[in-house]
Structure 1
């Protein structure tokens, strides 16, 4: 039986080719994802560990004092502590480090680096006059407030050489620095595409901390001193609120963070790979079902000469194992190539990836092989069981008995139960506060139920196309009859496409609706013409608000400033604004009280926080400010908060005296003539054409939101395209095997006068009808699930409203039609080339 199974694989290799391709694509996606994420993670972790080569123990601020944002004095890492650490036994060298956001503009004024990896730090020379962390490639270290050094990658991207003037921004205002040196670094963030600028220590402290203060103190152990022994010595001199960590712990923590950050990408990509494999299951099951049906006489003869049912099942599963093994091996090899190509693509697009070997772990190989084989064997198990049930007497009949009415009734009942339960679960979830799990389970049940019911649905839905198909004469009539002749086969073929389009449509509905909801929320609450902020959402210097307020044509402006405080036993953030102008810049919906004039101890609070705390208009709140001083705030109004404006709002005149280092998150600006190109240009010029600062009007805010969702959708479309490609392979496979199965019938049609063009048209129309059937089901399910998911989202986003993407749905339906047309090209050509006499004689 084993030899028979192998001969069957070789005899039907052309028919099994599409099955191999479908499994291969899924396995390639899985292995490519694992190779790519392992390679990137390994390279980043190795680079991160190198960055701690000169750190055996690090003194940092502890996690107890201000981790929750509570007010009070921060523990100080100052020069005195650094000098104390220098004289510790076992300490070879001690370095105080300071770091913070630093935007660097290239010669065209564009910011170099990638968002939060756009960093600045201090060059701290040791006794030999160099900083071991940053070997100089050319030039010298910065030594004054107007000098700077850049990492070699940033200098190359910006086109800078030693002696050039570099425009930078730390907290808003533009600074011009002289480039004195170019250095190399093992910093993983720079290796991943970020940028690093170095200042002398005094300048860095002034920019990022405070004079004489450090963010961290790094200690290098003397030869013969272990990290643990040095840590014990350091802990004896630590002030309250600080802690000591070994370099090995820091490296391990950073490596763990890198691995966790890659887990999200890996999970997402593997999710789409799972979808592709799930779609592939339909193709595999369909292929083996058709092979079993075509070999009815052969399998019946095997039964007649003594083969048991178990042997027949094993024979089919052996074929599936061979197909799965071939597909898994080729998929693994293709996946390794995909992983290498993705790394090269990232480097080509500017997302710098540290150098390192391509990581192909044993687990990747094992997972790829197991996935390919197990998926194929499981999908072929049901056809294998059906093959075992073929009675020996079928060897004397030309065609084995078709499915009984009882089996179809049982199938329809099961499908109806699944679909009903899934629909009910989804509808119940829409009314729950946290119904994600219920909705996910309901969506899965609904998809399974519709799949089981697809044979029942195929006849009435395909019948709707009859008037159109009649326009194509006998070819159209035959195409409709062929499409419904075997409902189970049609259902399995259409279901692969249905699943892909369900996901695509559902995500499109959700994304478009959420985008409009956020857009409406962001713009309806603002009367300001412009919102000015750092490109990376890092804090702005108060000088920015002062410069904007002084611009000609600015009629009102207000910075938004956050400060931690303690109210009762809880930590709350206060938002400081320009109380005089705030009402002219925002449009808040007050449920109790009014905005009025914000000054003194008067504050307004968003409704959700007020409800949670039990506050009302007139409530007096005892508050401990950021500097530890106490005061009282009186609630003058309660408003409906949103993602843009929420929390406790008071006048900056009340808040500022309690802040040592005031920074703004953004500045709202209103101009005399509204949002005009001239007004925006004047604001940009007033800020020195700073590449780190964005001046956004309402349209810019909307476009930024749209761009985010468009990017997300495009990524999803690209990944789900894999499922559609697999679905195309399924349609091709089904049609090709159907043509083979109907060779005699096609020969008869040719003999009685249907020409080759008519045969091609018949096969193409059959393919088109099946694909459109799957497309209509997928789009319908996608709209329903998208609506249901939106009902969940609307609880957290009050401005959410359902947006039906009619244009995109028309495109999706057109894609389904295109899938049908393309998938039919080869089978139609093959059908038209059949020799009518040989086909008539074929069994």
Structure 2
């Protein structure tokens, strides 16, 4: 039986090639994902570990947890604490660290680095061991700065150049006095780092005379643990905590690994989809191979082979096919991993250098996935073949499914589909995240149910195409009959395409609906002509609003700032605004009271008011972040949304309780409305700052649309693999169908159907099967898109379902294209069959 299995593998090389390709693509994606994420994670971890070479113990400010009526406020580390730290036994040196956001503009005025990766800090003394200078000298005074070598290279800066940068709003133009190298992970990832002298950094980052961290280096012969113990004796527990450099490195490595796990999971999901689709192809292939060898297997049974031996021979075939596919997939995956790293570098996402990491786990996973998937898919056809009585098998090449088996299949499919629809509909009645798990379960059940029911669905849906196929005469009629001749095979082929299009359509419906909802939210909630904010979400200096208020044509401005507070023994964030202008800049629906903000009067969003039992006229006892208490009165309750929500009060009331006031946004209304000239005036008033963005409603919507478009394009690219696997499945099915029907095709040729007619018949058959899968996929995708939208609607009041008819038409066209392309080779092969040889074949 072993030799028989090997002979069959050798005899059907061409037929099994498609199966190998299907499994190989899935395995390549899995192993490529593991190689890529392991390589990047290893490189970042090694790079971050180097960044702690100068840190044996770090002293960090304590952030007290919220207790009672007080709000936790971050402590600051003073210079006197640094002096104490450097004098403890076993300490060699101590460095005071100051950190903050710093945006650097290139010579064209554009932001260097990406958002949160744009960092600033302090250069310690004349020679900072953390940042070796490669050119120039340390920054001194308020008008000097040093920048990292990668930023200098990308932006084309050198020592002596003037650079435009921003810390929290105003543009600064210091001179570059030094260029340094660093192992900072942000810089390694493509960000930027600007260093000022310590006093300047403290002033710029609101830490005058204080530090964000104190890094202590141990004297030779002193361990990190011993130094930690000595520092614990002098560092006040309520002010700061101490951590070893090794622990910091380990924590950062864990954070990197955790961050990479999200990417790894996402990529592996799509690899799983490709493998799942590939499973249908493998099962289809082995079903047809076994069907074609029914007489051979019956003869083996007749001469003494047991059912187990027949099943085992099919599984041995699958094992060899899976092994070849897994090995080639692993090799391709290593190439994919290396290619993805190079692609990231070419796209500007700098990745630390390091070796390609091919772990034993990656190799084992690739082999296990490839072999296991193939053998599982081949098990059912092998078991089915072994159960056919030898006499029945020898008398009929094609053993048809019994009525009982079809009834059982359809019953199971109907139960799964009904259960899936019921669970999905139940999930739509739940709130937000609570409904995600049921929604996922329902989706899986429904997809399985539809897959099981596909043979039943194929007959009426393909029959609906009969009028169109009649146009093509005899070829069209034969194509329709061939499509429904073997419903199970048609179902397995169409299902591969169905799954890919279900996911693509569902995500497209979701993205379009979300975009429309966000457009409605922006237009309905904001009356302001412009919204000004930092490009990376950091906070703005209060000077920004003052500058904007002085611009010609500006009629109203209001900054928005957040501050923590304690109300009813809970932490609530207060949103400070310009009470005199906010009503002119927003358009919020009032459900109770009036929109009055000023003095002690505040307005509260409906959800917060309901949670606390507040209404117009309710008094709130508040404890501000500085520990002082006060009383606020609810003037009105409004309908909140994702853009504006919470407790809104006047900045004049909030500001006295803030030590470092900063805004996250400024709203601006102008007399002339939105125009390019007005926008230019506002940008010029802010010094054409690269870190600050001035956006109107369309800019906000376009920015969100760009994010959705980028995500969709990435997902389309990943799902393209599943579509490629589906194409292979259609080719495989048609090729085997042509082989199986060789005698029939020879007869058709003999009675007058020419080669063009044969080609047309096979192409139309492929087209019908592909469109059948496309219709099912688009239908399911719309249903899942609607259901997921209903889940979002509970949290997003402006949510509105949008059906992208144009894109759905493109997806259907894609399914048709898949059918046409997949039929090229099988149709050509069918047309070239020698009719006499074909008629004599069995």
Q: Residue 222 of structure 2 aligns with which residue? A: 225
Whether the aligned pair in 2 keeps the contact of 1:72 and 1:627 (CA below 8 Å) is: no
**2:64–2:73: 8 Å Cα contact kept in structure 1?**
no
Q: Is the 8 A contact 2:294 2:394 kept in 1?
A: no
Contact 1:534-1:692 within 8 A present in 2 as well? yes
CA distance in 2 between counterparts of 1:486 and 1:68 reads 72
SS in 2 for 1:524: helix
User: How far is 1:778 from its partner?
Assistant: 0.7
Q: Name 2:124's counterpart in structure 1.
A: 124
Instruction: Determine the structure 2 residue equivalent to 1:105.
Output: 105
Unpaired runs of 5+ residues, structure 1, are none
2-structure distance, mates of 1:80, 1:648: 40
Query: Could you say which residue in structure 2 is the equivalent of 1:343?
Result: 341
Aligned: 1:150 with 2:159: no
Q: 1:209 corresponds to which residue?
A: 206
Work out whether residues 69 and 566 of structure 2, in 8 Å CA contact, stay in contact via their aligned partners in 1: no
Inter-partner Cα distance in structure 2 for 1:76 and 1:368:
51
1:626 match: 625
Q: In 1, are the aligned partners of 2:70 and 2:627 still within 8 Å (CA)?
A: no
TM-score computed with the length of structure 1 as normaliser:
0.98
Question: Matched residue of 2:382: which SS?
Answer: helix
Matched residue, 2:296: 298
Instruction: Return closer, same or farther for 1:9/1:70 CA change in 2, 3 Å cut-off.
Output: farther
Of the candidates 258, 265, 281, which is equivalent to residue 283 of structure 1?
281
Is 2:752 the counterpart of 1:753? yes
Contact 1:501/1:775 (8 A) holds in 2: yes
Q: Distance in 2 between matches of 1:684 and 1:212?
A: 33
Corresponding residue of 2:469: 469
* 1:71 CA drift (Å): 3.4
| Deviation of the 1:617 alpha carbon | 1.2
Distance 1:405 1:424 in 2: 28
> Residue by residue, what CA displacement relative to the aligned partner does 1:305-355 show, whole Å, maximum 9, x if unpaired?
111000000000110111101000000000000000000000011100000
2:260 is equivalent to residue 270 of structure 1: no
Q: 1:73 to 1:509 in 2, by over 3 A?
A: closer
Please give the alpha-carbon distance, in whole angstroms, between the structure 2 residues aligned to 1:98 and 1:750: 84
Q: Which runs of 4+ in 1 moved over 3 A?
A: 65-74
2:162 counterpart (158, 162, 165): 165
Which residue number in structure 2 is paired with residue 806 of structure 1?
Answer: 805
CA change 1:392–1:503 in 2 (3 A) is same
Q: Partner of 1:711: helix, strand, or coil?
A: helix
1:250 aligns with 2:248: yes
Aligned counterparts, 1:608-687, within 5 A: 608-687=607-686
Residue 703 of structure 1 corresponds to which residue in structure 2?
702
Q: CA deviation at 1:392?
A: 1.6
State the secondary structure of the residue aligned to 1:335.
helix
Task: Structure 2: give runs of 5+ residues left out of the alignment.
Answer: none
Cα distance in 2 for partners of 1:70, 1:335 equals 55
CA distance in 2, matches of 1:73, 1:302: 81
Looking at structure 2, the residues matched to 55 and 311 of structure 1 have their Cα atoms a distance apart, in angstroms, of 66
Q: What does residue 793 of structure 1 align with?
A: 792
Match of 2:666, SS? strand
Deviations 1:148-179 (A, max 9, x none): 00100000111101000000000011000100
Give the SS at the match of 1:245. Answer: strand
| Alignment match, 2:134 | 137
Identify the range of structure 1 (822-831 vs 501-510) with the bigger mean alpha-carbon deviation: 501-510
Contact 2:94 2:217 in 1 (8 A): yes
In 1: Cα distance, 2:109 partner to 2:361 partner: 47
Q: What SS does the corresponding residue of 1:253 show, helix, strand or coil?
A: helix
TM-score normalised by the chain length of structure 2: 0.98
CA-CA distance at 1:400 after TM superposition: 3.6
Written as runs of structure 1 = structure 2, the 5 A alignment for 1:295-694 is: 295-394=293-392, 396-433=394-431, 434-596=434-596, 598-694=597-693
Deviations 1:39-81 (A, max 9, x none): 0000000000000000000000124257999636542301100
Does the residue aligned with 1:179 lie in a helix, a strand or coil? strand
- Do the aligned partners of residues 246 and 207 (structure 1) sit closer, same or farther apart at CA in structure 2, a change above 3 Å counting? same
Q: 1:73 to 1:378 in 2, by over 3 A?
A: closer
Q: Return the alpha-carbon distance in structure 1 between the equivalents of residues 194 and 115 of structure 2.
A: 14
Contact 1:66 1:74 in 2 (8 A): no
Match of 2:193 in 1: 196
Once the two structures are superposed, residues 733-785 of structure 1 have per-residue CA deviations (whole angstroms, 9 ceiling, x without a partner) of 00000001111111111111111111100000000000000000111111111
Secondary structure at the aligned position of 2:573 is classed as strand
Residue 565 of structure 1 and its aligned partner are, at CA, apart by 1.5
1:827 aligned to 2:821? no
Alignment deviations for residues 440-478 of structure 1 (CA, whole Å, 9 cap, x no partner): 111111111111111111111000111110100111111
1:824 is paired with a residue of what secondary structure? Answer: helix
Paired position in structure 1 for 2:79: 79
| Structure-2 separation of matches of 1:441 and 1:76 | 49
Q: How many residue pairs are counted as aligned between the two chains?
A: 839
Q: 1:718 — aligned with what?
A: 717
* Maintained 8 Å contact 1:72/1:628: no
Aligned 8 A contact 1:527 1:587 in 2: yes
Distance (Å, rounded) in 1 between the aligned partners of 2:100 and 2:66: 18
Contact preservation (8 Å) 2:97, 2:215 = yes
Do structure 1's residue 765 and structure 2's residue 789 form an aligned pair?
Answer: no
Compute the displacement of 1:789 (Å). 1.2
User: Would the aligned equivalents of 1:601 and 1:634 in 2 still touch at CA under 8 Å?
Assistant: yes
Aligned residue for 1:166, secondary structure, equals: coil
- 2:315–2:375 contact (8 Å) kept in structure 1: yes
Kindly provide the CA deviation profile for residues 368-394 of structure 1, in whole angstroms up to 9, marking residues without a partner as x: 100000000001110010110122214
Separation (CA, whole Å) in 2 of partners of 1:793 and 1:189: 34
Contact kept? 1:192, 1:351, Cα under 8 Å: yes
